[in-house]
Amino acid sequence: MQENNTELSVSTQVLEKMATIAACEIEGVTGLSKKAIDIKGTFKTKSVFKGVRVDRINGALEINVFICIDNNVNAREVAEAVQKNVKDKIQTMTGVAVTKVNVSIADIHFEKEEPEEEQ
């Protein structure tokens, strides 16, 4: 019987997209940062305005996620849920170990209050 040895290779851009989707699935996350966060990383990457950065280190993945949250949520709970969901989804879909998921809250979204109508 022949063994089928295949290797899965997933591009960094696809991993970033997976992490973006997983982060945005969490209630309280309004989106990802559109601002340049990591100055030293800006010279190495083509796109400075990413909300997710994936680094491959010794065959494992280290993921940095920069999220925007609602103002009325518990930031710690949202960040922990994002960490867990990103790690679980990427490891399940790719089989590659995720050693770290760093979550930074880059912005807080405040709902604009409707001006009261005068009568």
State the total domains in the chain: 1
> Is residue 99 included in any domain, yes or no?
yes
Q: Please, what is the average pLDDT of the chain? A: 84
In angstroms, the Cα distances linking 28 to 25, 57, 102, 114 are: 9, 30, 17, 21
Predicted structure pTM score:
0.77
Residue 19: domain span: 12-109
| Span 16-22, average pLDDT | 95
Flag whether 117 is in a domain: no
Quick check: is 47 in a domain? yes
Q: Provide the pLDDT for residue 115.
A: 60
For residues 76-88, average pLDDT: 97
Closest CA relative to residue 65, chosen from 94, 95, 96, 89: 89
CATH code of the domain containing 30 = 3.30.70.1350
> Has residue 65 been placed in a domain?
yes
Determine the 3-state secondary structure of 15 from DSSP: helix
Q: Assess if residue 21 is contained within a domain.
A: yes
